[in-house]
Amino acid sequence: MKRIKHILFFIFIVQILLLFIFGCAESSKGKLSNPIEIADSSGVIRNFNIYFPKKGEGELPLLVYFHGVRSEGFKDKPVLKGYTGSPVSETGLIPFCNANSIILLEILPSYTYKFLDVEASGWSPFEKEIEGIETCIDTVIKKYNIDSGQVYLAGISAGAVMSNHLANRWPGKFRGILSHSQAYISEKNEILEPIDSGKKFKVIICYTKGDYQNLKDICESSYEKYKEHNYNVVILRDLPPSGHKWSNSTNGRFWRLLSGRNE
């Protein structure tokens, strides 16, 4: 009888240790790729990565990032010379979030489509993409140690369009959005009216020096639309570097504005 008690006690201790080890691994440090299986209504799995800061206590802010349109075929397009779509690894956001105790969620497209006659990925078809994204964000917020009052969206180019649509479609869910080199437009490139809501979100719109002129114009027009609807909106113009890419050197300024400090 004593032997059985000792065995049961040993099993209990092992279970506690395993819970502790895996709990620490899940909640804290490094990168988790697809830690939860999330599928849309068509059964398509949503791929995503979560980057946890090494330090930070209590509920932490969440920054959700969307890259621009990407394709291997872009290498053969002279008009897209030097364009990469700014995957999160090129933005400087991974070390920045780590240093500032921010959980970073990188959501990846699930579908492909034809863009400039090549197969590309980047948030189209829109309705299919947005369904899986909403589920992914909601699941991550519920599962991990995240302050639901400090959830932010950031994206560049087509990823910026997705950020605007999510915030306007889901008012009150996000505290602010960073719209880099694109803004709130329809699939026909029409400037859209922001939602009139009592729970308005902060909007940061920006573009880089040497960015495409049509995208600069869209950013300026969308900025005016948000102002007309009494949003707390800021526009940052002609940031470094030159070209259609993420402004790594401005990450600190982006975060100060997003988290509530105007300039």
In the chain, % helix, strand, coil (3-state, to 5) comes to 40, 25, 40
Q: Which domains does the chain have, with CATH numbers?
A: 2-258 (3.40.50.1820)
Q: What is the pLDDT of residue 201?
A: 96
* 69 contact partners, CB below 8 Å, separation of at least 6: 85, 115, 120, 121, 122, 123, 157, 158
Residue 122: per-residue pLDDT: 93
Residue among 181, 186, 247 at smallest CA distance from 214: 181
Instruction: Name the stretches of the chain with pLDDT < 50.
Output: 8, 11-12, 14-28
The C-alpha atoms of residue 211 and residue 216 are separated, in whole angstroms, by: 7
Tens of pLDDT, residue by residue over 164-173, are 999 999 989 9
Burial of 77 (0-12, 13-18, 19+ CB in 10 A): middle
What pLDDT sits at residue 29?
57
Question: How do residues 55-96 score in pLDDT, each as one tens digit?
Answer: 988 999 999 999 999 999 998 888 887 899 999 999 999 999
